[in-house]
Amino acid sequence: MSCCEQARRQELEWLRQEVSAARGRRERLLPLLQEVQERLGYLPPQAMELLAAGLGIPLAQVYSVATYYRRFTLTPRSQHVLQVCTGTACRLRGADQLLSFLLQRLQPGTKASTGGGAGNAGPRGGSACGCGGRPAGESAPPVSVETVNCFGACGLAPVLAVDGRIHGRMDAGKAAELLEKWVER
Ligand code: FES
């Protein structure tokens, strides 16, 4: 069994126990969704089914809650997530150029998306390879580039977050250094 599959089974076993201890307690849905998101980096269908059955909540309602909050994702996230602020203050100070630089540098293995929640970290799952126990076929690109509206750190514009950690007064040169240090190792 691969380390990924083993990690995934361990996480689902952990969830089974948690759900069993919380049987019928619907108020545990949000905290458990949050835990699964943090442990696996996303909410796999098996976890959703376990939660629905164990907490006595219709599966559609579990999905409805999971898709309502931006901090949850139903698909695997990349190992590294770069978030460029495209709020007004950051745009005035070069956020668009920063975003273009990152996309150019990281393509073709990079996806760009908008509206990712600020401060999200990548998966912290227990597998040695950092896959978070994702099953084969559910791969994500190694690096994702997202945009967010504002980190609330406008005085540091333009702002880039690398795996949830804020870096201020960014430009292409500094971003290139960060990529070499953190992402492209
Ligand atoms: S506009 Fe970028 S941090 Fe506020």
Which residues are 165's β-sheet partners?
162
Q: Do 56 and 87 fall within a single domain?
A: no
Nearest protein CA to atom 1 of ligand 1, as residue: 87
pTM of the model: 0.55
Residue 144: domain span: 80-183
Let me know if residue 18 belongs to a domain.
Answer: yes
Supply the pLDDT for residue 1: 57
Q: Which of 68, 98, 119 is the last residue of a domain?
A: 68
Answer yes or no: are the C-beta atoms of 171 and 164 closer than 8 Å: no
Let me know if residue 16 belongs to a domain.
Answer: yes
Q: Which of 93, 154, 160 to mutate to test the pocket of ligand 1 (most atoms within 8 A of CB)?
A: 154
Supply the pLDDT for residue 70: 74
Q: Nearest to residue 83, comparing CAs of 158, 32, 137?
A: 158
Q: Do 95 and 174 fall within a single domain?
A: yes
Q: Which of 47, 68, 89 is the last residue of a domain?
A: 68
Q: Which of 25, 43, 68 is the last residue of a domain?
A: 68
Let me know if residue 73 belongs to a domain.
Answer: no
Which CATH number belongs to the domain containing residue 155 in this structure? 3.40.30.10
Let me know if residue 74 belongs to a domain.
Answer: no
Q: Which of 98, 146, 159, 170 to mutate to test the pocket of ligand 1 (most atoms within 8 A of CB)?
A: 159
**Region at 41 (left for phi over 0; alpha for psi -120 to 50; beta for the rest):** left
CA 77, 34, 131: angle at the middle one, nearest 5?
30
**DSSP structural state of residue 153:** -
Supply the pLDDT for residue 121: 32
CA 72, 117, 15: angle at the middle one, nearest 5?
25
Question: Residue-wise pLDDT tens for the chain (185 aa)?
Answer: 555 667 778 888 999 999 999 888 999 999 999 999 888 888 999 999 999 999 999 999 999 999 888 778 888 777 788 989 999 999 999 999 999 999 888 865 554 554 443 333 333 333 334 444 444 445 566 788 888 889 999 999 999 999 889 999 999 999 999 888 876 66
Q: Do 37 and 109 fall within a single domain?
A: no
Gap between the Cα atoms of 179 and 184, Å rounded: 6
Supply the pLDDT for residue 68: 86
Q: Do 136 and 172 fall within a single domain?
A: yes
SS3 (DSSP) at 24: coil
Which residues are 147's β-sheet partners?
84, 114
Q: Do 89 and 34 fall within a single domain?
A: no
> Which residue's entry shows tokens 């495209």?
86
Q: Do 113 and 64 fall within a single domain?
A: no
Let me know if residue 75 belongs to a domain.
Answer: no
Supply the pLDDT for residue 107: 67
C-alpha gyration radius of the chain: 18
Going from the Cα of 96 to the center of ligand 1, the distance in angstroms, rounded, reads 13
Q: How many domains does the chain have?
A: 2
Let me know if residue 47 belongs to a domain.
Answer: yes
Supply the pLDDT for residue 94: 95
Pairing of strands 165-167, 160-162: antiparallel
Let me know if residue 138 belongs to a domain.
Answer: yes
